[in-house]
Each structure stands twice: as structure tokens, then as C-alpha cells.
Structure 1
Amino acid sequence: MSTEIVGEARVRVRYAETDQMGVVYHANYLVWFEIGRVELMRQLGLDYKAMERDEGCLIAVVEATARYKAPARYDDELTIRTRLVEARGPIVRFGYAVVREADETLLCEGSTTHVVVGRDMKRRRMPERYAEAFLAATAVSVL
């Protein structure tokens, strides 16, 4: 039986991340998705900074979705759970769940779709090392 690879990152809601209603402003979830995505890549043994620097390769967001289930508030401790949903050619898709640690309440779930581009912002092939790691991660995932 295979096991899903899920990256986990933890954040504590800062006061500046809340709005006038006292809940987390919706766009902050996209920032947290990025935190989760970078941590998952680290867990897979990949270094996004090195990918940019050494390979001249970027992973541009072309689509982002978020479905809000419950509010997060100031000082809540949250876990961002990230999984690699798809890696096909230059397309990479991640899935996210943001959960309040205290009671395991699902606050938000979403996804981002990315296209691999060069510094010229033109589509290009994923560097082989990264493509192999992504393929291995999707091959063992139970989705």
C-alpha cells in the first residue's frame, strides 16, 4: 500500500493578517499556500531557490483556488498541509488544506496550478531532477 506524501508547515496568525471583522483576510491563505508548497518541495529534497538560481527555471502560478470553510483568527496556530496533485510536462498542481491545530478544524482548502517557465517567462521543460522527484511523489500518492 502506498502512502500519500503530505508536507506540513506551521504558522501562527499575526494581528496584521486579520481584517476589520477580526478574521484572517482571505488573500493571506494564498501566502500560506506558498509557504506550504516550498516546505513540501524541501521535504522532497528539492530547493526552489537553487532551481531558480542554477537552472534559470521558475514555477509560475497560473491558477489559484480557495474554498473557505471556517474563519481563522488572531493567534490561531495553523497547519498548512500540502500535496502534489499532478506533475505533467511543464504543468504542476498542488493541493492544500489549512487546519487549526487546536481542534483540527478545516479552515480552507485549495489548489494552485503552475507552469514551468524560464527567466524570459516562456514555457520550458522541468529540469530532470525536479521532474523525477515530482513524478515519484505523484506515483506514491493516494489521491
Structure 2
Amino acid sequence: MLILEYEYVIKPRFSDTDSYGVMHHSSYFKWFEEARFEFSKEVLKFDEDLLNGKKLKFPIVECNCRFKESVIYDDVVKIDLKFLLGKSAKITFEYKAINLRINRICAVGKTVHMFLDENNRICLNIPKILSERLNDIVEFEE
């Protein structure tokens, strides 16, 4: 199994809060998506055609999040992201959101993605374009 790690820091926006001034639970999924997007740009070197789904899509087929601590407006949150890729044609991302003000884990989440080609057909193997990108980063064998 290939595991790559990435850190993404976010300062919650006012629009992320609920009426109590606490980060709304849906905000965590937005933050996870932002971290995943930046990981794909910075680490996997995905260009615009890969990021917008013109060459390859990897939709979410499963997601979850466990909330442990509240985050308030003005806190700073670090997302520790793990990219996991095994032999099957799916990607798993694991997330750990850490409130840097109190240095405690505020949420733990996961998303699982499958691959679709440019014609929206399910890929049964890891797409060549991804395995080539991974070979540029680490020695990767399917």
C-alpha cells in the first residue's frame, strides 16, 4: 500500500460558523475537500484538466467524520491528510483536523473515492495517468 502524507492549514471563515459561533459540522467536509484539492495540485501535480474532471474523475463513494472538539471563529486548524492507495482502483483519504490554538484533535474523517474515466466508465484498475504521476514521486508498482 502506498501512503503519502500532507498538511493543510486553514483559518475558519465566519461563514463556517453556526448560530452559536461554533464551526458547523458541514464545514469539516469543505476543509477536507480543500486539503484534498491542494494535495492533488502540490503533491500529485494535477493540472487543470485533472482537477476539473476532464481526464479523470474520482468521485466520493463513502465519507464520514467524527467530531471531538469544537472549533470557533479565529481558531487555526491543521488538516493532517493521508493518501492511501492499494492494489484496487480506489483511493482513501484520511483526515485529522487539529485545532492549533488548543493543540487538540477536533475531528477525524475519511473519504473513499473510485475512478471514472473521461467517458464516466468505472475503472477497474488504477488509471495510467495516476500511476505515472505517482512514479514521479515515489517508486510505485501496481
Q: Shorter-chain TM-score: what band?
A: 0.7 to 0.9
Q: Hey, what does 1:40 align to over in structure 2?
A: 39
Q: Hey, what does 1:128 align to over in structure 2?
A: 128
Contact 1:7-1:39 at 8 Å conserved across structures? no
Residues 32 and 97 of structure 1, relative CA distance in 2, 3 Å threshold? same
What TM-score does the superposition give when structure 1 sets the normalisation length? 0.79
| Structure 2 counterpart of 1:131, one-letter code | S
Which runs of no fewer than 5 residues in structure 2 stay unpaired?
A: none
- Supply the RMSD in Å over aligned alpha carbons: 2.8
Answer 1 or 2: which has greater strand percent: 1
How far 1:55 sits from its partner (Å)? 5.8
How far 1:54 sits from its partner (Å)? 8.4
Residues 65 and 136 of structure 1, relative CA distance in 2, 3 Å threshold? farther
Q: Hey, what does 1:22 align to over in structure 2?
A: 21
| Structure 1 counterpart of 2:33, one-letter code | E
Question: Which SS does the other structure have where 1:31 is aligned?
Answer: helix
CA distance in 2, matches of 1:71, 1:16: 16
* Count of aligned pairs: 137
Report the identity percentage. 20
Contact 1:84-1:138 at 8 Å conserved across structures? no
Residues 45 and 114 of structure 1, relative CA distance in 2, 3 Å threshold? closer
How far 1:103 sits from its partner (Å)? 2.7
Residues 113-122 or 47-56, more deviating: 47-56
